[in-house]
Structure 1
Amino acid sequence: MELHSEIISMFILLPSCPGVARIEKVLIANRGEIACRVMRTAKKMGVRSVAVYSEADRHSMHVAMADEAYHIGPAASQQSYLSMEKVLEVAKKSGSHAVHPGYGFLSENTEFAEACKQEGIIFIGPPSSAIRDMGIKSTSKHIMSAAGVPIIGGYHGEDQSNERLQAEAAQIGYPVMIKAVRGGGGKGMRIARSDADFLEQLESARREARKSFNDDVMLVEKFVEDPRHVEVQVFGDMHGNAVYLFERDCSVQRRHQKIIEEAPGPGISPEVRRKLGEAAVRAAKAVNYVGAGTVEFIMDAQHNFYFMEMNTRLQVEHPVSEMITGTDLVEWQLRVAAGERLPLLQDDIILRGHSFEARIYAEDPNNDFLPGAGPLLHLSTPPADLDTRIETGVREDPFSPFGSSSGFRLNIQFTRNMTLQLGDKSKWQYLLIIDSFLFFQIGGELYHVTGEVEVEGGASFLHCSVNGVKSHPKLVILDNTVHLFSTEGSSQVSVPVPKYLAGVSGSGAQGGAVAPMTGTIEKVMVKAGDKVAAGDPLMVMIAMKMEHTIRAPKSGVIKKVFFSEGSQANRHAALVELEEEEEQQ
């Protein structure tokens, strides 16, 4: 294997052979996990990597890993990672021969792919024509139908009036899926289960599509109940070759966002697997595809499958395909972008084993898994080996309050508060503190508790003993909650807020609605004086580019609206003040 890596490095740095470009330096126009992923392969191949970063990512992992790094703007992605001009300026300034777009941001932007070509910089991805054809769902459906790829019937027409779309939905038959024609990543998608909620779901999908893609043209399709989301990894080169690297099952999702990916798909027969792969290759060849791509299908209970969309880039979940085929798809990308033929033909790609990928999202599991934000205070992953792979672009916040190298004794009052939260308050009998030791009785059992906090290697641990039984969990304190992590699992313990802080720690205006997460107010649907019923929509918030409708917790009259459209609201901020109808009499 080491010899193979050396051969790669020597080859890529040799003067260009006929039809093969010379790539010695690549700019990664992205951040986080995918930027780090590309850099690892580039280093293995002897290719220098160039990072770009916004002000918010100045201390990020991908900046530290790169051979060179350039600041391209403020935290807002529109002024940094999405700025084609700034990215291309750095590419030219750094002398980069190629740009790897990663996923998201500029990865499926036809103008950017074309701009790279005009500047003589290799875009590591498909031609702009393939991105354009597959990026518009209505166009891709027609191309797929002509190529013999199964599709779901629906309306993909130019008349985008509410009346026409609703009439088409009724003709198709509910439930229907409303989708943005330029959509992707689960954004701009809604399910309408009846004529009564069609217009509300349509407007929501349009708003999200405008926000994410600057295009709110929609299509309507029959929704397949209890579907499986099965996608096929494909790869094409500049010489007309295309192969598939088997399928991934991505059916475990929340709000159309993938959580667990599995390869190969469970319960799929060899015959269906072959048909899936061949259909995906037909899709790729229909648009003269070059590079890594994913053809996504919906599969029903009888294993019939239908084209959904093609992602014209490397996917987040590509590692599960690499694990079962023994390939490095980023290496393939660099080689194919340089003009080489595919490293393997279809018969050479062998399926070996089974692979799972689990994503970790910034979400609050105690708040309906709504998106969260804040510093990463604790990160602990299993050690990587031949069977375990960690893909990350983050690390623990270096400014954690537990960053001190010296240990400190645990405050007894803190121990008391934390311990008693675990007990049944109705059974407390007495509590006694003697010489920094804690004794208390619950029911008929007496507990003797000792503990201290120590910092070891930058992490904090609680060394505690309850009646002689010792425990050594990792300790993280966040928002008045103690998080304990150990081999037995994790637990959370609330720490009472001191009385002098209680007055300022409430969740907002009494009787009103509060923000369930931090986000942007996209739409305000009420004003002071409006009467609302329980469940009526009050506002629409956007977090992580996904819409969340805030509804009235009870019937009443709006006394005050605290936020306007476009403003930022923190979690637990009061959004409106609501007076119940009986309170007015």
Structure 2
Amino acid sequence: MFKKILIANRGEIACRIIYSARKMGIATVAVYSEPDSSALHVELADEAYCIGPAAATLSYLNQQEILRVAKAAGAEAIHPGYGFLSENPEFALACKAAGLIFVGPSPDVITSMGIKSRARDIMEQAGIPVIPGCYIDEVPDSELEGKGEGLGYPLLIKADRGGGGKGIRLVNATEEMNEAIAAARREAAGAFGDASLLMEKQIVNARHVEVQIFRDIHGNAVHLFERDCSLQRRHQKILEESPAPGISERIRQKLHRTAVAAAETLGYVGAGTVEFLVEPDGEFYFLEINTRLQVEHPVTEMITGQDLVAWQLLVAAGEPLPLGQEELECKGHAIEVRVYAEDPVRNFLPSTGTIHYLRQPMTADGVRVDSGVRQGDMVTPFYDPMLAKLIVWGEDRHEAILRLLAALAEYHFAGITVNIGFLRRLAVDPAFSAATHTTRYVDEHLDELTRPEPITDETLAIVALYRVLENQRMLYQQVGSGGDPYSPWNSGKGFRVNESDRIEMQLLSQGEMVTVHMYPVGDGYRLEMAGVVMTVTVVELHGAKLRCRLQGKNVAATLVTHDEQITVFCAGNTFHLLLPDLGRVGSDGGGGNSLRAPIPGKVTELFVEAGDTVRQGDQLLVLEAMKMEYAIRAPADGTVISILYRQGDSVQEKDRLVEFQPLEEKNDAAA
């Protein structure tokens, strides 16, 4: 077994690998970029070395620097995790040339399976059904529309070397073809260094089911059962579970056999995942093989009791598989959700900033958290926005769902926006509960799944009470430092001369200013706001945790003040309220309308120039952030007044990108 390994990754997967290596007595070497110098994986590893600046191409994708550090540190093997270099055959080959073990399959297998067109050919020759499609680069441009019509819409345009949902575009009609191909090419070239594309028929109403496989150098091959990954948004997985619900035992066994056969066909070594699309009638098609550890591998660990990272290290060291097929058993049901720094209400824009407050669920009774962040960490715009994974286990699916809901209610982030509320809505959705959802379900029901939760009067009352109590706490501290303890002005209860004591404050709730009047009554307050009257009694304020009795009901909430706002966690919901007495963004000024950057990123494409006339919906420019593209489109018919950035420039959130004059305003000015 290895004595020391280098982990060529970051975030939660780097931490996950460290935990397993530590249990096996293996020393670990971490690498990090300059912004990640204080990251959790750096702290956990036995050694850590900086390999470059923020850009992934200069750090986590810098093969030569990673190999140099591995050799200098005395590592015997490199574990690539997932993403970055995990499916890069050139890196696997370079490891071998440097005398290092690459924890993964051979470069030839990675190459074959990393190119979707080649993988399709190999699987088709092995008798495994593949999705009808063609290779776009082999079809003349003049024939593409006809080829699409022949396959039948809807179609998927896919990066030939793609993965992780990137480089994929949906085409519902012929007129969408050219823009979809252009966008997929750009994203594929940026993410994978190859702009080759495939066109495939989209299998409608399908389930996405994958099988975990392992094979060693001695020819032993097993499956570790299947996972259902059908809850996706734009082909990126959100929730995974095992066993897969809603498929027959006959189809389940057939998927297992087909996956192991694929591994045998390839002479596969290590961990892999064979992915399929399964139709309602049970027919299935090969999708791809991921030649690495999957993000969702903990689901399999929870139902089998096995450590898949340990299995990887054992196989990479030349040892046989720890267990045979007959020794593996699937027990209970497991579910994983991915916690992202993103805002579902704002079309899932990635969120950056400091994690001012973090509380994770208690990791016991079938609850597990794989995380790469801590309170106080900075979430930057340079890498994938996934922060953690929440995994639960139950005796059956119903118990697992209940455990998931309870754990999500305990998971609190403040300072950045996360997708936990969205995950809760998915977990209680009737289609998910009944296991009738397909790969298209989230995209088809996105509006209802991302609708913002209304801030109730009760929530406003809790915030008002918290602010009053916080103010009183500060006043008491001042009194302790020399203030007059008997002065009514230091009571914090709104003392007024010749009037009833009253506190007045304003809260900015979902764009509306709310004035709250609070009158001290006994050990609580009477609150009046917008015609609503409520009474609240204080029970306890301990740090950020408030307990009170509101209209006779016991309420527990956690409130965190940060960045000109208050984040409220109450009854499983999270709310954000702005503090109106602090700075707000002013108007653009200067005439016209400014289109602003919704997120920090880089301008990768410009489609217009100053003076151009555009129609509503036309693309003006493209921003790239966290490996995804965001199109900035014309909000109306009008004229581009000026472009404030050039291609390749970096921009910050809310930076003005384009000065734009709508046609109506232009006509009004002329009149």
> TM over 0.5: same fold?
yes
1:581 aligns with 2:663: yes
- Farther off after superposition, 524-533 or 470-479: 470-479
- Farther off after superposition, 225-234 or 479-488: 479-488
Counterpart pick for 1:567 among 637, 643, 649 = 649
Quote the offset at 1:510 in angstroms: 5.1
Quote the offset at 1:451 in angstroms: 7.8
Q: 1:378 is matched with which residue?
A: 357
Counterpart AA for 1:115: A
1:45 aligns with 2:132: no
Output the TM-score relative to the length of structure 1: 0.87
Counterpart pick for 2:603 among 515, 521, 528 = 521
What per-residue deviation string (whole Å, max 9, x for no partner) do you get for residues 461-494 of structure 1? 4566657867552223344331111345332223
Task: Check whether the contact 1:416–1:438 (CA below 8 A) recurs between aligned residues.
Answer: no
CA, structure 1 residues 508+347, in 2 after alignment: closer, same or farther (shift >3 Å)?
Answer: farther
The alignment partner of 1:167 has SS state of helix
1:215 aligns with 2:197: no
CA, structure 1 residues 418+355, in 2 after alignment: closer, same or farther (shift >3 Å)?
Answer: farther
Quote the offset at 1:549 in angstroms: 1.6
Q: 2:7 is matched with which residue?
A: 28
1:68 aligns with 2:47: yes
Q: 1:441 is matched with which residue?
A: 528
CA, structure 1 residues 438+527, in 2 after alignment: closer, same or farther (shift >3 Å)?
Answer: farther
Task: Check whether the contact 1:113–1:127 (CA below 8 A) recurs between aligned residues.
Answer: yes
CA, structure 1 residues 203+161, in 2 after alignment: closer, same or farther (shift >3 Å)?
Answer: farther
- Matched residues in 1 for 2:656 and 2:542: separation? 38
Counterpart pick for 1:490 among 574, 580, 583 = 574
- Farther off after superposition, 374-383 or 435-444: 435-444
Task: Check whether the contact 1:26–1:49 (CA below 8 A) recurs between aligned residues.
Answer: yes
Counterpart AA for 2:644: F
Counterpart AA for 1:235: F
Quote the offset at 1:504 in angstroms: 4.0
- Matched residues in 2 for 1:572 and 1:452: separation? 41
- Matched residues in 1 for 2:598 and 2:236: separation? 19
Quote the offset at 1:442 in angstroms: 4.1
Quote the offset at 1:225 in angstroms: 1.4
What per-residue deviation string (whole Å, max 9, x for no partner) do you get for residues 395-445 of structure 1? 11168999xxxx8746779x854668599989x796668999975434776
Q: 2:499 is matched with which residue?
A: none
Counterpart pick for 2:628 among 533, 539, 546 = 546
Counterpart AA for 2:288: E
Q: 2:324 is matched with which residue?
A: 345
Counterpart pick for 1:121 among 84, 95, 100 = 100
Q: 2:406 is matched with which residue?
A: none
1:99 aligns with 2:186: no
CA, structure 1 residues 429+537, in 2 after alignment: closer, same or farther (shift >3 Å)?
Answer: closer
Task: Check whether the contact 1:507–1:573 (CA below 8 A) recurs between aligned residues.
Answer: no
Counterpart AA for 1:556: G
Quote the offset at 1:287 in angstroms: 1.6
Quote the offset at 1:227 in angstroms: 2.1
Residues 162-311 of structure 1: matches in 2 within 5 Å? 162-311=141-290
The alignment partner of 1:259 has SS state of strand
Task: Name stretches of at least 5 consecutive residues in structure 1 with no aligned partner.
Answer: 1-21
- Matched residues in 1 for 2:506 and 2:539: separation? 13
CA, structure 1 residues 508+491, in 2 after alignment: closer, same or farther (shift >3 Å)?
Answer: farther
The alignment partner of 2:309 has SS state of helix
Q: 1:7 is matched with which residue?
A: none
1:112 aligns with 2:91: yes
Task: Check whether the contact 2:504–2:518 (CA below 8 A) recurs between aligned residues.
Answer: no
What per-residue deviation string (whole Å, max 9, x for no partner) do you get for residues 221-260 of structure 1? 1111122111111111111221111111111112222111
Counterpart pick for 1:55 among 34, 52, 71 = 34
CA, structure 1 residues 505+580, in 2 after alignment: closer, same or farther (shift >3 Å)?
Answer: closer
Q: 1:334 is matched with which residue?
A: 313
- Farther off after superposition, 226-235 or 393-402: 393-402
Counterpart AA for 2:263: A
- Matched residues in 2 for 1:429 and 1:475: separation? 18
Counterpart AA for 1:441: E
1:130 aligns with 2:86: no
The alignment partner of 1:208 has SS state of helix
Task: Check whether the contact 1:262–1:356 (CA below 8 A) recurs between aligned residues.
Answer: yes
- Matched residues in 1 for 2:92 and 2:516: separation? 72
The alignment partner of 2:85 has SS state of coil
- Matched residues in 1 for 2:530 and 2:194: separation? 64
Q: 1:143 is matched with which residue?
A: 122
Quote the offset at 1:516 in angstroms: 2.5
Task: Check whether the contact 1:507–1:574 (CA below 8 A) recurs between aligned residues.
Answer: no
The alignment partner of 2:176 has SS state of helix
Task: Check whether the contact 1:507–1:514 (CA below 8 A) recurs between aligned residues.
Answer: no
Quote the offset at 1:177 in angstroms: 0.9
- Farther off after superposition, 275-284 or 444-453: 444-453
What per-residue deviation string (whole Å, max 9, x for no partner) do you get for residues 58-102 of structure 1? 111111111111111112111111111111111111111111000
- Matched residues in 2 for 1:574 and 1:452: separation? 47
- Matched residues in 1 for 2:193 and 2:509: separation? 49
- Matched residues in 2 for 1:252 and 1:465: separation? 39
- Matched residues in 2 for 1:236 and 1:97: separation? 21
What per-residue deviation string (whole Å, max 9, x for no partner) do you get for residues 206-229 of structure 1? 000000011111111111112211
CA, structure 1 residues 226+547, in 2 after alignment: closer, same or farther (shift >3 Å)?
Answer: farther
CA, structure 1 residues 565+148, in 2 after alignment: closer, same or farther (shift >3 Å)?
Answer: same
Task: Check whether the contact 1:231–1:296 (CA below 8 A) recurs between aligned residues.
Answer: yes
Q: 1:314 is matched with which residue?
A: 293
CA, structure 1 residues 116+416, in 2 after alignment: closer, same or farther (shift >3 Å)?
Answer: farther
The alignment partner of 2:346 has SS state of coil
Q: 2:341 is matched with which residue?
A: 362
CA, structure 1 residues 247+485, in 2 after alignment: closer, same or farther (shift >3 Å)?
Answer: same
Counterpart AA for 1:525: F
Q: 2:559 is matched with which residue?
A: 475
Task: Name stretches of at least 5 consecutive residues in structure 2 with no aligned partner.
Answer: 379-412, 416-469, 475-491, 495-502
The alignment partner of 2:367 has SS state of coil
CA, structure 1 residues 530+135, in 2 after alignment: closer, same or farther (shift >3 Å)?
Answer: same
- Matched residues in 2 for 1:465 and 1:433: separation? 15
Quote the offset at 1:309 in angstroms: 0.9
- Matched residues in 2 for 1:563 and 1:424: separation? 33
Matched residues, percent identical? Answer: 45
Output the TM-score relative to the length of structure 2: 0.76
Task: Check whether the contact 2:270–2:316 (CA below 8 A) recurs between aligned residues.
Answer: yes
Counterpart AA for 2:528: Q
CA, structure 1 residues 353+528, in 2 after alignment: closer, same or farther (shift >3 Å)?
Answer: same
Q: 1:12 is matched with which residue?
A: none
**Equivalenced residues, count:** 554
Task: Check whether the contact 1:410–1:452 (CA below 8 A) recurs between aligned residues.
Answer: no
The alignment partner of 1:126 has SS state of coil
What per-residue deviation string (whole Å, max 9, x for no partner) do you get for residues 133-165 of structure 1? 001111110100111211112113652543343
Q: 2:381 is matched with which residue?
A: none
CA, structure 1 residues 23+528, in 2 after alignment: closer, same or farther (shift >3 Å)?
Answer: same
Quote the offset at 1:344 in angstroms: 1.4
Q: 2:478 is matched with which residue?
A: none
- Matched residues in 1 for 2:504 and 2:227: separation? 50
Counterpart AA for 2:650: Q
Q: 2:447 is matched with which residue?
A: none
Counterpart AA for 2:663: E
